[in-house]
Amino acid sequence: MIDLPRLLGISPALADWVAAVLSVVLLLTFVAVSAIFFIWLERKVAGRIQDRLGPTRVGGKFGWLQTIADGVKLLVKEDLIPTSADQMLFRLGPYIAFCGAFTAFLALPFANGWVAKPLSIGVFFMLAVMSTEVFGIILAGYGSGSKWALFGGMREAAQMVSYEVPMALCVLVPVIVAGSMDLVHITNRQTGFFWEWYVFRNPFTFAAFWTYFCCATAQCKRAPFDLAEAESELVAGFHTEYSGLRWSFFFMAEYGAMFAVSGIAILLFLGGWNTGLLPYDLSDWIHFTVGGQDWGAFLGNVINVVVFILKGWLLVFVMMWVRWTLPRLRIDQVMMTCLKYLLPISCVLLLGVSLWQVAMPVVVLNDLKYVLSVSCAVVVVWLGWKLVTTQSKLPAGGVPPMWAPGNHKAAARN
């Protein structure tokens, strides 16, 4: 750890305040920049899945600045409040929703010891504060004075509260294996090669990861569970009456929550900031001293942060992939999926892992992870081989390759 009082020449009390302010600023910047990147990425993912290009004009042929242009448009757009709306509730809704998603990042460790507020119950603190996002959505729906917004808010309340139950039960599965609710401790227990990750620990943790990810997708209002924003039924759902900056806060909250739930999945199941390719944590292995200060752990944690963020972005990409691949469910199907299937499955997984930890021989507990990890590695290699060797067939006059020079010009001519 870096000695901040010595480095800055200030008192320990002042150093604590400086560290707190820096943590909040860094997290706010990360959430905002991630939202900008995710919006661009989602448009590109949607474009490729639908055989089109997505943004290509603003910011070069890849459309890097399209989201920035949209953000500027939202900032200068007129801020409208319906005459029938409750003005106080209407104004509070988007900010409460964003605060619920942002507060979770305070307990999210990005590397070994790099967390704004270390908590021994970090995982359930994150789940608890993320659940408060629903209050902002209910206030937005009710305060808008619109029946469509009200219906969307009620749908979202029912959906989020329902899916939080199986999601929390799936979180308990790796917590039982690790014997702790501290996210840093759980991740440190997975230090080493990728077969040490809890997703490969036993069949129950493997199934719990997929069940958790499905529940997290629904909890973030992502398709095919986006009934709160069903355009065909509710115009735009709970944020129908919003415009400008307040409208953007809802989407910042959504994309922030997507990364937060992905971060929990990474820390609990996918080795956290560990690469899975080395037998040790980089923050413990790298050592070099400059000016009497050991900067090795700092450099190792910088690499750990990059690994953690890349894993989080990968899971967010999977959520986008699912959104633009599967059709939207009906509201009764959404609730049935949770109450009739995911809730019983999560209960069985919780009971099963408890019995597994007690009843299974030590040899099975220690060696089954190799079988599961190697099997998954073989499947991934096979899928990669099929991806490379299978010839794609585009429809006549289809979209040219994404990275081909001048592809947007060819598409324009077509």
Strand partners, 290: 293
Exposed, middle or buried by CB within 10 Å (0-12, 13-18, 19+), for 10? middle
Lowest pLDDT segment from 3-12, 190-199, 327-336, 345-354: 3-12
Whether pLDDT at 256 is above 60: yes
324-378 pLDDT tens trace: 898 888 888 999 999 999 999 999 999 999 999 998 888 888 889 999 999 999 9
Count of CB atoms within 10 A of residue 87's CB? 12
CA 39 to chain centre: 13
The predicted structure's pLDDT at residue 387: 80
The predicted structure's pLDDT at residue 379: 94
The predicted structure's pLDDT at residue 90: 93
Tokens of 409: 């010009």
Q: Which one, of 119, 139, 337, 166, lies nearest residue 253 by Cα? A: 139
Lowest pLDDT segment from 43-52, 328-337, 384-393: 384-393
The C-alpha atoms of residue 78 and residue 281 are separated, in whole angstroms, by 50
Type and span of the H or E element at 155: helix 147-178
The C-alpha atoms of residue 29 and residue 10 are separated, in whole angstroms, by 25
Q: Which one, of 331, 366, 323, 278, lies nearest residue 41 by Cα? A: 323
377-387 pLDDT tens trace: 999 999 989 88
217-243 pLDDT tens trace: 998 888 788 876 666 666 777 888 898
* Sequence-distant (≥ 6) Cβ neighbours of residue 388 within 8 angstroms: none
89-146 pLDDT tens trace: 999 999 999 999 999 999 999 998 899 889 999 999 999 999 999 999 999 999 998 8
Whether pLDDT at 290 is above 70: no
| 12 upstream amide cis, omega within 30 of 0 | no
Cα maximum dimension of the chain = 70
CB 94 within 8 A of CB 247: yes
Count of CB atoms within 10 A of residue 180's CB? 18
Is the model's pTM score more than 0.75?
A: yes
* Phi and psi, residue 114, nearest 5°: -95, 85
Exposed, middle or buried by CB within 10 Å (0-12, 13-18, 19+), for 15? middle
Q: Tell me what the pLDDT averaged over the chain comes to.
A: 86
